[in-house]
Amino acid sequence: MGVAHFFHCSRVYLTMLRTTLALVGCTGMILLSSCCQPSHKDSSPNIVNSMFQETYGRDIDLSTGDSAYYPIYTFGIQNTGTADDDFTLQLRYRQGTVGFDITKHVPAGAIVLFQSPLITSDSITQNATYAYVGFQDTVPNIDEIYYGMSFHSTDSAEVHTMQPTITIVYGSIDNGPEGCNTPASTSSVNITSLPSR
């Protein structure tokens, strides 16, 4: 009776231990799953077409050594979501091999102006972070940035004529090297929807 009782209790104990370990494992998987899949920020970029502007600077065109026009684009981007976010406006030329990124913080509901690089920063560009694609210098000068985008006529530098690829990157969550991250979302800008000069 004592031995039978001992084995019965041992079986009950092992069953309880297995059940407890299974519950702990399931709970851990749920916690890990919820940790590693943070929801996207409730942010969404919207181009305000009425705020799009094109102006032009004059600079030295490296290809000819002559004075030429280069485009200066200004975009109004609204965050139509409920969460503040950092938006990155990407402009790419030459099949995406050359271009620049403009990153700015956009509070929920606000409209923020994004402007292509200038020789001297102004009230729009001073709070922006710029990154460059296809340039050897970390901070290329205006000549290098606009190489191949400078023209003798202002009409040739219009966004509809140049047809750059324009994308907005948003919603990314970076919780550090050991954290759970959410990849960024992207939204393409339809150039034909932008007003002409």
DSSP line for 101-145: EEEEEE-TT-EEEEE---SS--TTTTT-EEEEES-SSSS--HHHH
* Tally of CB atoms within 10 A around 85: 21
Weakest mean pLDDT among 23-32, 40-49, 88-97: 23-32
Q: Token pair for residue 162?
A: 């140049």
Share of the chain above pLDDT 90, in %: 38
Summarize the confidence of residues 12-34 as an average pLDDT. 53
Q: How far is it, in rounded angstroms, from Cα 169 to Cα 82?
A: 17
Q: Which residue do the tokens 């890990």 mark?
A: 32
Give the chain's radius of gyration (CA, Å). Answer: 27
82 vs 17 pLDDT, higher one: 82
**pTM score of the predicted model:** 0.75
First to last CA, the chain: 98
Q: What is the pLDDT of residue 188?
A: 96
